[in-house]
Each structure stands twice: as structure tokens, then as C-alpha cells.
């Protein structure tokens, strides 16, 4: 299968356009990358002052960024908000700061959590519900989940955190896609003891190359994470753009509304093409089809990159096209062709 080289590579992520170009050398340019869950219409970069590039980031500027994140995410006064060069940097460090024997990871989800806990020597068990965290020293929930959009009520997560904390355990909640979800679903405003929540900046704001993310945590866990990041973890441009964007509530409201409309439009196209919608968020859709691998190749030859999952060969994840031309090319590529029937 031509698609297998991309899809089955260890640690495969969406967004590997370079690999896709090698796999489909005859595909038309420009590629339409629907393999990620990144907002295709980014927050405006605007002017970056020269000093943001040239100077070491100042403590005051970092504090302003973290205050902007605090305003956006709404933690209580007892929780620390720690900026990082992307949530991936937090995922890499967490197993070193909170070493465990056994970690439960809920459902089919973002693969880097399991990778990083395993690399630190933890046994990783697949949890099918929060109850399966029993016997684990830590539990990981991506909420809403990537790739299926499963959303767990924060009250339920708080109970899971309490159960884990009673045995000295930790609940890790990765809210990478929470910015575009309905209000009231984040665990941050009532963060229980023994829980840490991560927020991604690059996805909802469409600036994945900037590398900016946050952890919200209390007590020694927050202190440990802040110490691990060290001084100057976040770049000057990321501080500058992040502090502007995170106080711009109108932009996020408008972006969320647009993504809601467009994800419904995507559902319509996929359903028409014979896919069954499995779930998603306003930033991506997971769709099922008898021959998803065939669709991955067909779309790839048309210069449209989707996200396959080696362990779930019947599904593909689709991001949102960025413009009319992208929508038109996707619509054309999803039309039935004689070769298919």
C-alpha cells in the first residue's frame, strides 16, 4: 500500500507535507494540508519589535504572557500558569517531574503521551474509561480527544483526579483543542489538587510554528515544571504574539464561529462522499469509510493530505481547508470517479 510509508512510520504525526511530497511526487502543488487540526486562518502576526528577536526574553514580558493566558483560561489564584515552547515540551518533561510506575492513557488518542511516558520507563496501559485508571499512578486524558472529539465533563474529570490524588497519583488533562469548544468544559477554573492541564496556543490560533503552550498546575508539580523549563524557554516572538492574541477575545469568538460553520460544511462533503462521521471538534473531523486507505491515496494523488491512523485503518481525520480553492479541490477530489465504482 502506497500510503503505508507515511501512515505506519513510528511516531507519525499529521503535518508531514515533506513526506507526503515524496510519497505522491506527481500531486499538484500547492498541497492542501488537512492532516492537522490547526486553524487554517491564523491570528495576525503583526509587528514584532526588534528587541523580541535580539534580546533574551525579559521576565516581565514572560509574566505578561502568562497573565494573558491566565485571563484566557481562568484558573483560580492557587494555580500556576507556566509557558512552554509548545505543549510537546511539557509532555516531554512531565514523566521526569512526576515519575510513575504505571500510567493509564484514555482511549485512542495523541500518541506522544504514551511515547514520552514509555521513554521515561513507565508501563503504559490503555484505559477505556476513567475507571480504568485504578491501579495506575497517573492517568492521561486528552479533552476534547484527538482524533474523535470525545468530550468529558470537567466534574467527571475532577472525580477521577480526586481518586488518583487519594493514592498520590496525578491526572493529566491535555486540552490542546479546548479553545474552540463550548464554555464550561475546561478543568482549569476548578483545577483539582493532583491534576495538571495543558493548553496549546498554536492550534486554535493557527500558529503551530511559533511553539507556544501552557501548563496549569498547583504546588510542587507546577514548581517542578517551571524549574524544568528554565529561563527563556519561550521565544521573544512567541511571547509578543501570544500576549496579544490571548487577550483578543473577539478574535477567538469569531474564529470559533467560523470553524463551527466550516466543520459542518466539511461533514456535509464527507457524508456525501460516503463517509460516516465518527466525531471531531471544530478544528478537525474524524470520518469512517470501508476503504480509508484508498481515500488517503486518492486524496494524496490530488495533493490533499489527510491523517491516517495505522491502528485504525478504517478512519481518516480531516482538518478545515483554508480558502475557496481548497474547498473546491477537496469537493472535486471527494467526487466519485469511474475507477471507484
Region 237-256 residues binding its own copies, contact defined as CB under 8 A = 237-238
At its nearest, how many Å lie between its own copies and the CB of residue 54? 5
* Burial of 189 per CB tally in 10 Å (0-12, 13-18, 19+): middle
220 binds its own copies (CB under 8 A): no
Three-state DSSP at 163 gives helix
Three-state DSSP at 40 gives coil
Burial track 127-155 (b if 16+ CB lie within 10 A, e otherwise): beebebbeebbbbbbbbbbbbbbbbbebe
67 binds its own copies (CB under 8 A): no
Q: Which stretch binds its own copies (CB under 8 A): 42-50, 126-134, 149-157, 168-176?
A: 42-50
At its nearest, how many Å lie between its own copies and the CB of residue 98? 13
104 binds its own copies (CB under 8 A): no
CA distance 69 to 220: 20
Give, in degrees to the nearest 5, the angle at Cα 97 between 233 and 90.
Answer: 40
For its own copies, which is the closer residue by CB, 36 or 186?
Answer: 36
300 binds its own copies (CB under 8 A): no
CB 301 within 8 A of CB 26: yes
Size of the site for its own copies (CB under 8 A): 54
337 binds its own copies (CB under 8 A): no
At its nearest, how many Å lie between its own copies and the CB of residue 135? 27
At its nearest, how many Å lie between its own copies and the CB of residue 159? 31
Per-residue contact flags (x/-) with its own copies for residues 9 to 38, judged by CB under 8 A: --x-xxxxxxx-------------x--x-x
CB 226 within 8 A of CB 80: yes
For its own copies, which is the closer residue by CB, 88 or 306?
Answer: 88
C-alpha cell at 178: 479546548
What string of DSSP letters covers 76-135?
-TT-EEEEESSHHHHHHHHHHHS--SEEEEESS--THHHHHHHHTT-EEEEESSGGGGTT
CA distance 138 to 325: 45
For its own copies, which is the closer residue by CB, 37 or 144?
Answer: 37
223 binds its own copies (CB under 8 A): no
CB 266 within 8 A of CB 285: yes
155 binds its own copies (CB under 8 A): no
* Nearest-10 crossing angle of helices 59-73, 236-245: 30
Q: Using the rule CB under 8 A, which residue among 96, 101, 249, 268 binds its own copies?
A: 96
At its nearest, how many Å lie between its own copies and the CB of residue 120? 9
At its nearest, how many Å lie between its own copies and the CB of residue 55? 5
At its nearest, how many Å lie between its own copies and the CB of residue 56? 4
Q: Which stretch binds its own copies (CB under 8 A): 175-183, 203-211, 274-282, 286-294?
A: 203-211
Instruction: Report which DSSP code applies to 289.
Output: -
150 binds its own copies (CB under 8 A): no
The contact set with its own copies (CB under 8 A) reads 11, 13-19, 33, 36, 38, 42, 45, 50-61, 85-86, 88-89, 91-92, 96, 112, 116, 119, 202, 206-211, 227-238
Amino acid at each position: 500500500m502506497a500510503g503505508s510509508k507515511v501512515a505506519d512510520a513510528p511516531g507519525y504525526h499529521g503535518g508531514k507535507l515533506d513526506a507526503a511530497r515524496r510519497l505522491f511526487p506527481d500531486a499538484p502543488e500547492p498541497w492542501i494540508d488537512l492532516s492537522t487540526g490547526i486553524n487554517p486562518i491564523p491570528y495576525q502576526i503583526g509587528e514584532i519589535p526588534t528587541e523580541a528577536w535580539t534580546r533574551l526574553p525579559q521576565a516581565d514580558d514572560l509574566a505578561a504572557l502568562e497573565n494573558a493566558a491566565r485571563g484566557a483560561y481562568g484558573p483560580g489564584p492557587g494555580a500556576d500558569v507556566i509557558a512552554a515552547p509548545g505543549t510537546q515540551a511539557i509532555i516531554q518533561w512531565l514523566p521526569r517531574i512526576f515519575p510513575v510506575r504505571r500510567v493509564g492513557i484514555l482511549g485512542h488518542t495523541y500518541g506522544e503521551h504514551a511515547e514520552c511516558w514509555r521513554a521515561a520507563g513507565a508501563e503504559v496501559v490503555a484505559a477505556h474509561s476513567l475507571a480504568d485508571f485504578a491501579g495506575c499512578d497517573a492517568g492521561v486524558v486528552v479533552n476534547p480527544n484527538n482524533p474523535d472529539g470525545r468530550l468529558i465533563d470537567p466534574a467527571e474529570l475532577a472525580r477521577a483526579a480526586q481518586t488518583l490524588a487519594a493514592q498520590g497519583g496525578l491526572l493529566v488533562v491535555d486540552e490542546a483543542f479546548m479553545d474552540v469548544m463550548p464554555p464550561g468544559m475546561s478543568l482549569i477554573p476548578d483545577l483539582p489538587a493532583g491534576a495538571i492541564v495543558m493548553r496549546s496556543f498554536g492550534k486554535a490560533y493557527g500558529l503551530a510554528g511559533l511553539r507556544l503552550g501552557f501548563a496549569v498546575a498547583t504546588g510542587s508539580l507546577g514548581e517542578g515544571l517551571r524549574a524544568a523549563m528554565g529561563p527563556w524557554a519561550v521565544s521573544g516572538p512567541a511571547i509578543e504574539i501570544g500576549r496579544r492574541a490571548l487577550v483578543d477575545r473577539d478574535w477567538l469568538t469569531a474564529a470559533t464561529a467560523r470553524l463551527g460553520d466550516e466543520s459542518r460544511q466539511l461533514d456535509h462533503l464527507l457524508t456525501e462522499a460516503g463517509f460516516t462521521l465518527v466525531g471531531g471538534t471544530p478544528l478537525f473531523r474524524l470520518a469512517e469509510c470501508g476503504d480509508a486507505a484508498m481515500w488517503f491515496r486518492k486524496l494524496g494523488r490530488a495533493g490533499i493530505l489527510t491523517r491516517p491512523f495505522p491502528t485504525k485503518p478504517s478512519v481518516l481525520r480531516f482538518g478545515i481547508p483554508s480558502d475557496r480553492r481548497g474547498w473546491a479541490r477537496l469537493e472535486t477530489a471527494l467526487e466519485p470517479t469511474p475507477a471507484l465504482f
